[in-house]
Amino acid sequence: MNEKSVIRQSFVVFVLIAVILLFVGVLFGSWNWLTGLVLGYLLSLVNFGLVMKICEHILALSSSVLLVIIMNVAKLLIYAFGFLLACLTPWFHLGGVFIGYLILKLAIYIAGYRYKGGEKIG
């Protein structure tokens, strides 16, 4: 399981959830759930890329405590920016942003289950 397969799997999960939220948006006339989902997913991908880049540097350098601290603070600031943007603007829904943040984590769990123990299950 590498980062390309996780991103590919997360896009599939994103499309499935987006279709559900699109149906809910048409039903209730509210599109901010879908835009919040897109914002949350994009910020989650930014965080994932940040983790991948910082992990490369941590493995290359011997002193990694400062990089881990910087990475965690940067991740929290990115998450806070998404939630703040959702709270301050009417275009994004806070719940949609939260679901968007969870998409990548769901994809990692799904990919981990499918490749459980090094064997592909499905």
22-40 average pLDDT score: 89
Q: What is the pLDDT of residues 38-91, one digit of tens each?
A: 999 999 999 999 888 888 877 777 667 787 888 889 999 999 999 999 999 989
Residue 64, pLDDT score:
72
Residue 121, pLDDT score:
58
Share of the chain above pLDDT 90, in %: 40
Residue 117, pLDDT score:
59
DSSP secondary structure code for residue 116 in this structure: G
Type of residue found at 94: L
Q: Is the pLDDT of residue 94 over 60?
A: yes
